[in-house]
Amino acid sequence: MARSYNPVMTWNGKGWVEVTKKVWNGTAWVEKPTVRYWDGQEWMTRPPEAREFATYAGSTSSSVTAKRYATLRVPPGTRVNDYIVSICASMSGLPRLLSPAGRMPQVLGSNQDEISLAVACWPYTGADDQVLWDLGASPQATLINLAYRNGDIAQQSLTPVSDMQVYKAVDKVPLMASRDFMSVFVALTVSRQVTSYQWPEGLIPRESALGRFGSYEISVLTAETPGAGASAGTLDLNTAVDTAALYLVTIPGRSDGKPTWILGDDRASLLGTSTYLG
């Protein structure tokens, strides 16, 4: 069979042999360059390794009024294979995710006249920088996008919300127990006067979107903690709210088989008399 290229030959002292062709990979000449892809920040040879607890990479939020469609960018600095958590809290109706296409949100709410929460999760591909929601006839909605790095995207679920609780006329919201891997708490309140709040120790506050003071709007608050199977306490609000709903979103990870202590959590940080942290 004829060669498809003109070989380069060299004399090795005994005969003419073909020179092995090499390619410059940016640092050295190699025979078989590794295939790389651009993840938005740098050239990568493989996806990042999944860890037990994904790390927070960024967030964005917005609130819309009297609009059928709402868009929100993914967080700045998001990289390919980051785990996107998109949250849409709607005053009424059931929101639909239009972009990215092919992603099915978990919608919690069965009454068109009551508030609902939609959560969709997917690994970022670098193709869709905008998340687009169809709000229907809802008069107001609040959106939050969170990005997490080193999650186990192979274990993504169509039902990322693993638990929920609803309360009426409260200013303290008891937290359910966190679960395996990274637990993201999403608190949703409807009020005219929520201006401040306090998550318990052991939780790291993340993105929040407070409704306008004096307007009957949805506020969405988020915080995270490694799953430890214990409740961290209560979310304190500065005023009583008509309705408060709490949702637990699990970011999948890959277990390393080691125990977890959460320093600052009065239940999950208790160490035995023979336990040492190195």
Q: Assess whether pLDDT exceeds 90 at residue 130.
A: yes
Q: Assess whether pLDDT exceeds 90 at residue 131.
A: yes
pLDDT score at 262: 61
Q: Are 262 and 134 in contact (CB under 8 A)?
A: no
The pLDDT-based confidence of 122 (bands split at 50, 70, 90) is very high
Quote the CA–CA distance of 251 and 266 in Å, as a whole number: 23
pLDDT score at 93: 87
User: Could you tell me if residue 14 is inside a domain?
Assistant: no
The pLDDT-based confidence of 12 (bands split at 50, 70, 90) is confident
Quote the CA–CA distance of 82 and 70 in Å, as a whole number: 22
* Structure token pair of residue 94: 């059931």
| % of the chain exceeding 90 in pLDDT | 52
pLDDT score at 145: 98
Q: Assess whether pLDDT exceeds 60 at residue 47.
A: yes
Give 171's Cβ-side CA count (13 Å radius): 8
User: Could you tell me if residue 87 is inside a domain?
Assistant: yes
**133 or 22, which is more confident:** 133
Q: Which long-range contacts (CB under 8 A, 24 or more apart) does 257-263 make?
A: 258/52, 260/52, 260/53, 260/226, 260/227, 260/228, 261/228, 262/202, 262/225, 262/226, 262/228, 262/232, 263/202
Give the pLDDT mean for 87-107: 93
pLDDT tens for 57-95 read: 999 999 999 999 999 999 999 999 999 999 999 988 899
pLDDT score at 260: 66
C-alpha R_g of the chain: 25
* Structure token pair of residue 231: 């409740």
The pLDDT-based confidence of 261 (bands split at 50, 70, 90) is low
Residue with tokens 């023979």: 274
Give the pLDDT mean for 223-249: 88
User: Could you tell me if residue 185 is inside a domain?
Assistant: yes
Q: Assess whether pLDDT exceeds 70 at residue 153.
A: yes
Of residues 115, 112, 88, the one with CA closest to residue 216 = 115
Give the phi and the psi of residue 129 in degrees, each rounded to 5. Answer: -90, -15
* Residue-averaged pLDDT of the chain: 86
Give the pLDDT mean for 34-63: 86
Residue 199 one-letter amino acid: W
Q: Assess whether pLDDT exceeds 60 at residue 265.
A: no
**112 or 162, which is more confident:** 162
| % of the chain exceeding 70 in pLDDT | 87
User: Could you tell me if residue 45 is inside a domain?
Assistant: no
Q: Are 140 and 91 in contact (CB under 8 A)?
A: yes
Please write down the HEC assignment for all residues of the chain. CCCCCCCCEEECCCCEEECCCCEECCCCEECCCCCCEECCCCEECCCCCCCCCCEEEEEEEEEEECCCEEEEECCCCCCCCCEEEEEEEECCCCCEEEECCCCCCEEECCCCCCCEEEEEEEECCCCCCEEEEECCCCCEEEEEEEEEECCCHHHCCCCCEEEEEEEEEEEEEECCCCCCCEEEEEEEEEECCCCCEECCCCCEEEEEECCCCCCCEEEEEEEEEECCCCCCCEEEEEEEEEEEEEEEEEECCCCCCCCCCCCCCCCCCCCCCCCCCC
pLDDT score at 113: 63
Q: Assess whether pLDDT exceeds 90 at residue 1.
A: no
Give the pLDDT mean for 195-216: 89
User: Could you tell me if residue 227 is inside a domain?
Assistant: yes
Question: Domain span at residue 139?
Answer: 55-251
User: Could you tell me if residue 226 is inside a domain?
Assistant: yes
Quote the CA–CA distance of 117 and 96 in Å, as a whole number: 11
**4 or 229, which is more confident:** 229
pLDDT tens for 155-189 read: 888 899 999 999 999 999 999 988 888 999 999 99
User: Could you tell me if residue 265 is inside a domain?
Assistant: no
Q: Are 151 and 183 in contact (CB under 8 A)?
A: no
User: Could you tell me if residue 221 is inside a domain?
Assistant: yes
What is the domain count for the chain? 1
* Structure token pair of residue 47: 């996806």
Residue 173 one-letter amino acid: V
